[in-house]
Structure 1
């Protein structure tokens, strides 16, 4: 039986830009950094990893990573304050979550969500 996701690894063409993006949203760097080929961030009990890829490596929409957060609206405001443009404002969904979507500089779609009471 599958118990959990330990980590997700996303590709980037620009590690410094990607690390700056995730740091601006409050992710804590555990390993690596702007000048490294691999960086790992804490994401609750799991990890979000970034791996550098050459410029000729291309990808298209692959799906979405959903992060549960304590306060969806606070993360949305933090993203706006950092100059990022979420693709949706926070909203309450019919499936019982408050969420918004934000695409990182490498085209990975992120969702920040919280179950509704």
Structure 2
């Protein structure tokens, strides 16, 4: 039997700070999740997104050291105005903008911000007519 793709995880320094950011993107977490060392949510398609604190990862890998951020997640927005609004809201809340909203050549309105651990999070929506 072939393995089945099931989950994607992020290592986080501060669970509460990370979940606060991802709540702004519409993810829901159980009450008290910010006090846990491991948190999961299931998104459309059945994929699990997982957060683990650095301390949690060290509990089974004592030599664990956080690596510099090198990836991130992308969130589809309903339309281009939602990209604009969400980017502005996140920046106003203190999250750094990587790229202000722009019309990408692949036909999407795109923006990028950094989460509390420095991962780049993409916000995008289809343009009504690609440029």
| Residues 15 and 34 of structure 1, relative CA distance in 2, 3 Å threshold | same
Q: Can you give the 5+ residue segments of structure 1 that lack an aligned partner in the other structure?
A: none
Richer in helix (by share): 2
**How big is each residue's C-alpha offset from its partner over 1:52-103, in whole Å with a ceiling of 9 and x where there is no partner?**
1238622123223222111211211221232222111111101111111111
Other structure's SS at 2:84 match = helix
1:68 aligns with 2:76: yes
CA contact (8 A) 1:28 1:42 kept: no
**Which of the two has greater strand per residue?**
1
| Residue number in structure 1 paired with 2:52 | 51
Tell me if the contact between 1:31 and 1:41 (Cα under 8 Å) persists in the aligned partners: no
Could you tell me whether the CA contact under 8 Å between 2:102 and 2:110 is conserved in 1?
yes
The answer on whether the counterparts of 1:73 and 1:90 sit within 8 Å (CA) in structure 2 is yes
CA–CA distance in structure 2, aligned partners of residues 31 and 47 of structure 1: 18
Gaps spanning 5+ residues in structure 2: where? Answer: 59-63
Larger Rg: 2
Q: Paired residue for 2:61?
A: none
Superposition pairs of residues 1-117 of structure 1, within 5 angstroms? 7-30=7-30, 33-41=33-41, 43-45=43-45, 46-54=47-55, 57-70=65-78, 71-117=82-128
TM-score (ref. length: structure 2)? 0.71
Query: Hey, what's the Cα distance between the residues in 2 that align with 1:86 and 1:52?
Result: 24
- The TM-score normalised by the length of structure 1 is 0.78
The answer as to whether partners of 1:21 and 1:104 remain within 8 angstroms in 2 is yes
